[in-house]
Structure formats: structure tokens, C-alpha cells
Amino acid sequence: MAILNILRYPDPRLHKVAKPVTAFDQRLKQLIADMAQTMYDAPGVGLAASQVDVHEQLVVIDTSDTGNDLRVFINPEILWASEEKQIYDEGCLSVPGIYDGVERPAKVKVRALDADGKPFEVDADGLLAVCIQHEMDHLKGKVFVEYLSPLKRNRIKAKMQKEEREMKREKEKAKQYG
């Protein structure tokens, strides 16, 4: 297993639409294992393949307190979403340190394939429902900050770009004096 590089907002690759998974092979199983390790290491509760620059419809999620309930959703689709909405303070591994309220359906029914290509359905509410919808947005090329006002979104974008410049400067210094 390996820790993968997580793309940071506003990287344009985060806006690529993911293609359906068609091959359930060893490469896919390795990608799932690497994504899970990356998510746990970050630490986070969900990670879409798009966030690690693999534009395939694959999501890993673990909303448990113990970090031992990994769920894999391949080619997920929402079959039903409740009219009832909830606002949840969301964060994102691609937008580290930023949290803000996003309104989404409170409950969803999702159909997906597991790591072996077997179909399953899940009725989700609470954090799991939020996480599924958040990660599925990534597969469509959407980042949660796009639900926020243009003012907030622009502030976040500027902050992320500044942090990126500072990280590059630090790397250059380390190389120079390394």
C-alpha cells in the first residue's frame, strides 16, 4: 500500500468528470487499498479517486469512530434523495483546514458496485449520507466550496493558492540547504 498525493483546490484536475469503472482487476484492488491508506493517514472519512488524480468512479468511505468500517462505492448512483434537507459543516482533504455549512438531502438511497463488481444498495442518513453525496460530487468534478457564496469561495481559493506558494518556497529552501 502507498500514500497517494491528494490534489488541492483549486487544482483544475479536481474538475474532471470521472469515467465508470469497467475492469475489476488487481489494479483496482491496489487503488482501493492505496486510497484507503491515504484517507486514514490524512485523516479523513472519505476519498474519491478524482482527488488522487485517477478519474474513475470510485469512492472509499469510513465514518466509523474506530476506523475499521471501510466502504467501497464503485460507479455509485443516487436512486432517491429525501426532500428533507440538512446543513452539515463539511471539510475536504482537497481543501485542508476549511469547514463550512453545506445543505444537502438528509437521506439518500445509493446503488453501487463493491470491489468485486457485485451490486449493492445502501440507505444512508447523517454523516454517511453527507459523505456519500460529497464524494460523489468529486466524481462529477465538483468541490464542496462551490456550494458556498462567491465571496467565500474566492477567499478560500486565495488562501489555498497562498499556502501552495508557501509550500513550494519551503521545498525550494529545503533543496537549497538540504
Catalytic residue list: 135
**Residue 133 to residue 138: CA distance in whole angstroms:** 9
Among 6, 82, 81, CA closest to 41: 6
**Residue 72 to residue 33: CA distance in whole angstroms:** 10
**Residue 56 to residue 139: CA distance in whole angstroms:** 7
As annotated, the binding site includes 92, 134, 138
Q: What are the counts of helices (DSSP H) followed by strands (DSSP E) for the chain?
A: 3, 7
As annotated, the binding site for Fe cation includes 92, 134, 138
Among 60, 91, 65, CA closest to 76: 60
Q: How far is CA 46 from CA 8, 35, 95, 173, in A?
A: 15, 9, 13, 33
